[in-house]
A = this chain, B = another copy of it.
Amino acid sequence: MKIKIYTTGGTIDKVYFDRKSDYQVGDPQAHGVLARANVVLEYEVESIIRKDSLDFTDEDRELIRKRIESSPSERIVITHGTDTMIRTAKVLEGISGKTIVMTGSMYPAQFRDSDAVFNIGCAVTAAQILEPGVYIAMNGRIFNPRNARKNVELNIFEEIE
């Protein structure tokens, strides 16, 4: 079972550029995370977009959908900024025959105490097990994007009751 990991930027891939004294979206971190975890999965990492997800346009989301639709893989993880992850998830609904798990992180993967490694572990596992559909793997849980939101105050994902 081969897993395809598409990266689209977001906090998880943010690095620090001292010359600009700023964070910017850098190289995808997923490959390094999986290599350090010593996984024996067959997987490929492919970058679609490198942006803060607050800056995503409708065209960006269409591009992501097209790339997923035409992907040869049925087991897909997408790393994505958390601010509009749910919005993109809804654009991906209705793609048949594919298990699509979106994840990201609240802190850049390069931080000592980032949630990125844990979240990618969750997403890769969910992608292997779950039925076709679109899911959010954040904060240790698997959410249906129709019933989830990012609670910006608490900096967590939660179910809409």
Contacts and interface: CB of A to CB of B under 8 A. Distances in A.
Q: Interface residues of A: mostly helix, strand, loop or mixed?
A: mixed
Contact of A121 (B40, B112, B122, B129): B122
Contacts of A19: 152, 155
B125 A38 contact: no
Contacts of A83: 21
Interface in A118-150: 118-122, 124-126, 128-130, 137, 139-142
A20 to B, nearest CB: 10
Q: How large is the interface on A (under 10, 10 to 19, 20 to 34, 35 or more residues)?
A: 35 or more
A48 interface: no
Given A18-B107, A21-B52, A52-B21, A140 B124 contact: yes
A126 B110 CA distance: 26
Report how many copies the assembly holds. 4
A65 B54 CA distance: 42
B54 A139 contact: no
Given A14-B16, A21-B52, A37-B115, 18 more contacts: A11-B18, A16-B107, A18-B82, A19-B155, A21-B83, A22-B23, A36-B115, A38-B106, A38-B139, A39-B140, A41-B139, A110-B111, A111-B111, A112-B112, A117-B121, A118-B120, A121-B121, A125-B140
Interface string A20-64: 011100000000011011111100000000001010000000000
A137 B109 CA distance: 22
A104 to B, nearest CB: 10
